[in-house]
Chains A and B, each alone.
Chain A
Amino acid sequence: MSHADVTAKPETGCMCWGMYLEGCRWDHDAHRLAESAPKKLFVDLPLLHLVPEAERATPECGIYDCPVYKVQSRTGTLSTTGHSTNFVMWLELPSVYEQDAWIKAGVACHLALRY
């Protein structure tokens, strides 16, 4: 399903799209992260449905805490509001591997690429 197929607003939360995944690949069948395919540096992250939930407990395993940045440089300065100029948020992506593997591979999401 792509962003163009969405016709109605979800009841809670919101749908958004436009992220690129670096350092790994999205397995569309299993709905989780997988090793990159050769020569594919960036892949589109599928449509996201963000649902707010009060006092949610963070899952201990089965996820990778993926940082989301605006651009690929991955550096930013903190502004007075406490937000980074580049870092946007943490995104919990489902994965069967340990987090360590993805952390070492430097997996991250970007909102915009270099070109």
Chain B
Amino acid sequence: MVSRKQLKIFVEDYAEVPYKVLNYVGAEVNYGGRVTDDKDSRLITTILRTYVCPEVMQDGHKLSASGIYQIIPPGDKEDYLEYIRGLPLNPEPEAFGLHENAEITTSQNETVVLLENVLAMQPRASSGSGRTREEIIGDMARNLQDKTPGTFDLEAVSKAYPTSYEESMNTVLFQECVRYNRLLAEMARSLAAVQKALVGEVVMSEDLEKMADAIFDNQVPPTWTATGFLSLKPLASWIQDCNARIDFLREWIARGTPSVYWISGFFFPQAFLTGTL
């Protein structure tokens, strides 16, 4: 609405159409105010630039690579309606400036959401025959406990890699160890607790209940997500990833500052980058 009014003002008041001004006012002022992410606002600016430019005044100017979306010659209402009816019902990714692969990503995401919903609807009660749900969760928890690495000896790390002006990486390493220790301690505590709760030795609290459900569904337990690194992986690959990260740090502690860093292994990569740059 506002943009349309502004368009009228600008077109009437200036000898030439100020496309640059229109772009800025539309993307940065009218929409930009509501967008908090700078990457989103960059995208809006870019998209708007395809539609607000001197070329849109030419007939047949293509707005997408295939030319399905283009500027049509002026006509009456019927002509425009006819063109709009001719547009594909299920637009190809190119309508949004995307590669065909984008369609695969969308389908994959839809599948994941669908399967997650199916999983959430699974019955929670254990069936009559075979092992009970509790037994299965207990086994899985024990398995996870075996795979959980021990915590870092912070004192030894800070002695071997003291905070110094010459080697900023020492600080990064120490802070990473502190962060991973917090997660590893939580994993060890909750895994022991959940196993006890399953056999009835301690009270099954809400947290433990949620954790048991998560383990059964191959999801990362909520308390781990809260103390752990950001990840979208399911539990099985999450624990592998976690071990790989710990190994990376252990290697570092044992063999000295590495010559090449595995950037994904950091809990907080920004700190690493500040340390190097």
Task: Tell me, yes or no, whether A28 is within 8 Å of chain B by CB.
Answer: no
Contact B276 A14 (CB under 8 A): yes
Q: Which of A16, A36, A67 contacts B262 (CB 8 A)?
A: A16
Contact B232 A17 (CB under 8 A): no
Q: Please tell me the number of chain A residues within 8 Å of chain B, measured between CB atoms.
A: 50
What residue in chain A is nearest B234 (Cβ atoms)?
A: A115
Contact B259 A13 (CB under 8 A): no
Q: Which of A14, A87, A89 contacts B261 (CB 8 A)?
A: A14
Decide yes or no: A104 and B98 within 8 Å by CB, A52-B277, A67-B39, A83-B270 being known contacts: yes
Q: Which of B99, B230, B270 contacts A35 (CB 8 A)?
A: B99
Q: CA–CA, A47 to B259, complex, Å?
A: 12
Cβ of B253 to closest chain A Cβ, rounded Å: 17
- Which residues of B are found within 8 Å of A113, using beta-carbon distances? 232-233
Decide yes or no: A15 and B233 within 8 Å by CB, A41-B104, A52-B277 being known contacts: no
Decide yes or no: A9 and B257 within 8 Å by CB, A41-B104, A50-B276, A52-B277 being known contacts: yes
Decide yes or no: A40 and B101 within 8 Å by CB, A16-B263, A103-B46, A112-B264 being known contacts: yes
Task: Tell me, yes or no, whether A18 is within 8 Å of chain B by CB.
Answer: yes
Decide yes or no: A72 and B42 within 8 Å by CB, A14-B261, A19-B264, A105-B97 being known contacts: no
Q: CA–CA, A10 to B253, complex, Å?
A: 19
Which of B39, B97, B101 gathers the greatest number of chain A CB atoms within 10 Å?
B101
What residue in chain B is nearest A23 (Cβ atoms)?
A: B99
The contact size tier of chain B is 35 or more
Cβ of B180 to closest chain A Cβ, rounded Å: 15
Contact B276 A19 (CB under 8 A): no
Decide yes or no: A36 and B99 within 8 Å by CB, A6-B259, A14-B261 being known contacts: yes
Cβ of A5 to closest chain B Cβ, rounded Å: 9
Q: CA–CA, A91 to B46, complex, Å?
A: 19
Q: CA–CA, A88 to B271, complex, Å?
A: 10
Q: Which of B97, B99, B233, B261 contacts A112 (CB 8 A)?
A: B233
Task: Tell me, yes or no, whether A73 is within 8 Å of chain B by CB.
Answer: yes
Q: Is the interface of A mostly helix, strand, loop or mixed?
A: loop
Contact B237 A13 (CB under 8 A): no
Decide yes or no: A88 and B269 within 8 Å by CB, A16-B261, A52-B276, A104-B43 being known contacts: yes
Q: Is the interface of B mostly helix, strand, loop or mixed?
A: helix
What residue in chain A is nearest B229 (Cβ atoms)?
A: A70
Question: Interface digits, A67-97 against B, CB 8 Å rule (1 contact, 0 not)?
Answer: 1001111101000000101111100000000
- Which residues of A are found within 8 Å of B231, using beta-carbon distances? 71, 112
Contact A39 B104 (CB under 8 A): yes
Question: Interface digits, A42-67 against B, CB 8 Å rule (1 contact, 0 not)?
Answer: 00000110101000000000000001
- Which residues of A are found within 8 Å of B97, using beta-carbon distances? 101, 104-105
Q: Which 9 A-B residue pairs are closest in the complex by CB-CB distance? A: A104-B97, A18-B264, A16-B261, A15-B260, A6-B260, A111-B264, A52-B277, A9-B259, A16-B263
A interface residues (Cβ-Cβ under 8 A, vs B)? 3, 6-10, 13-19, 23-24, 35-36, 38-41, 47-48, 50, 52, 67, 70-74, 76, 83, 85-89, 99-101, 103-106, 111-115
Q: 17 A-B residue contacts at CB 8 Å?
A: A15-B260, A15-B261, A41-B101, A48-B263, A67-B39, A70-B269, A71-B230, A71-B231, A74-B39, A87-B39, A88-B270, A89-B273, A99-B46, A103-B43, A112-B264, A114-B112, A114-B233
B interface residues (Cβ-Cβ under 8 A, vs A)? 39, 42-43, 46-47, 49-50, 96-102, 104-105, 112, 229-234, 237, 241, 257, 259-265, 268-270, 273, 276-277
With A6-B260, A16-B260, A72-B232 given, name 9 new contacts (CB 8 A): A6-B259, A16-B262, A16-B263, A39-B104, A52-B276, A73-B232, A89-B269, A104-B47, A114-B233
